[in-house]
Structure 1
């Protein structure tokens, strides 16, 4: 076997081990939270000796950050898929919105420890805090983009971005709070949570649209044209 082939195999094996370490961290974070993560536990779950951990990561925090990015991307993708489906099928259809909230709650509940991690650490000036803040921002941006598309026909100032971003904040906070409530109150009916989220979202969207279309709430965009 040539030196080049050996080097390629070593890189592949190293990458595979790194991925196992990240996946082990993802699973521990998702099931048990940050307090359960240690180099010994992650290495054991990944099938390597503890000393081998540092051949792939400079620190435990580096591994946790990468695992958080994986979980965050999964949640982001779920929300993106749901919003794309709504844009195609109709955002005012109660059953469609309800179905998407069920999907999103499924994903967030499966990652409830990560949600707790996000809410607890996203404001901290640490690599993990910055990563969690970026994840929350990416979800907010996705919702903002979706809402701006709905507001576009109104031709309001700045394309409605400030208003869309504010509505996105409300929706993100509702989702995260709902997951917390489902964890704090095990007897809480999950279907009721999805139903109330749908009612609130559709009602809020309809009332906001009505308010925005009322005369006098926005300056006439043609007023200053010569």
Structure 2
């Protein structure tokens, strides 16, 4: 019984140390970027000796991958919360949309080193590159599902997924480019950035919907309403 208790305590202590190593890596990545990450630095910041690092990770890259996943989860959660509010209160509410852009931009700015990491490595066929690509795809999927939910009542073929996914790609690229611009131009007005993102997002979705309707590719909601009124 005592041996089992000792073994359980050892596992718990090992998990705590592993979490400290991950958190140290997350903080270094967020503040200073990939170039500042080393086993010596991570171990020191986590409060263990360098040789102890390899009791928890087989390589520095493995640790960086897990840390990147943690940062990606934080960003995804911020976006998920914003999209949930938009679905609940209305995606065309300008004040609500700009408030969510402010919040997301603040989060991405705080993680700007991670954003640069994402832009630089997500196409590389390495474990880190694949992890970053998966994070970007998951953010894209969140936005795609949100946009599809908005047009679901219209009964659009394929749920409007191809168009929603394309719009999601544009929105992700706009966000990442905005963070880069804020980094490169420190005096750039953040409120202007949030405002322009909001104007472009609402306008872009509206223009796409209008064009698709004019081309007969999507049903015309006004016609549906008129037909329903006539039948009554």
Q: Same fold (TM over 0.5)?
A: yes
Q: 1:152 to 1:186 in 2, by over 3 A?
A: same
SS in 2 for 1:124: coil
CA pair 219-110 structure 1, distance change in 2 beyond 3 A: closer
Q: After TM superposition, which residue ranges in structure 1, 4 or more long, deviate above 3 angstroms?
A: 217-220
Supply the distance in 1 between the matched residues of 2:215 and 2:28 (Cα, whole angstroms).
54
Note the 1:182-201 alignment, pairs <5 A: 182-201=182-201
Tell me how large the CA RMSD over aligned residues is: 1.4
How far apart in 2 are the matches of 1:217 and 1:91? 22
Identify the residue that residue 52 of structure 1 maps to in structure 2. Answer: 52
2:150 paired residue number: 150
Distance in 2, matches of 1:205 and 1:133, equals 25
Tell me what 2:69 maps to: 69
Identify unmatched segments of 5+ residues in structure 2.
221-232
Alpha-carbon distance in structure 1 between the residues aligned to 2:167 and 2:58 = 40
Q: Which residue of 2 aligns with 1:79?
A: 79
Aligned residue number for residue 226 of structure 2: none
Q: Which moved more, 1:12-21 or 1:200-209?
A: 200-209
Query: Residue 83 of structure 1: CA displacement?
Result: 0.2
SS of 1:66 mapped into structure 2: helix
CA distance in 1, matches of 2:210, 2:218: 13
Distance in 2 of aligned mates of 1:146 and 1:218: 18
- Aligned residue for 1:8? 8
1:100 equivalent in structure 2: 100
Query: TM-score normalised to the size of structure 2?
Result: 0.92
Q: What residue in structure 2 maps to residue 110 of structure 1?
A: 110
Unpaired runs of 5+ residues, structure 1, are 221-226
Question: Are positions 1:211 and 2:211 aligned together?
Answer: yes
Q: State the aligned residue count.
A: 220
Give deviations 1:5-28, integer Å, cap 9, x for gaps: 110110000000000000000000
Give 1:219 shift. Answer: 9.0
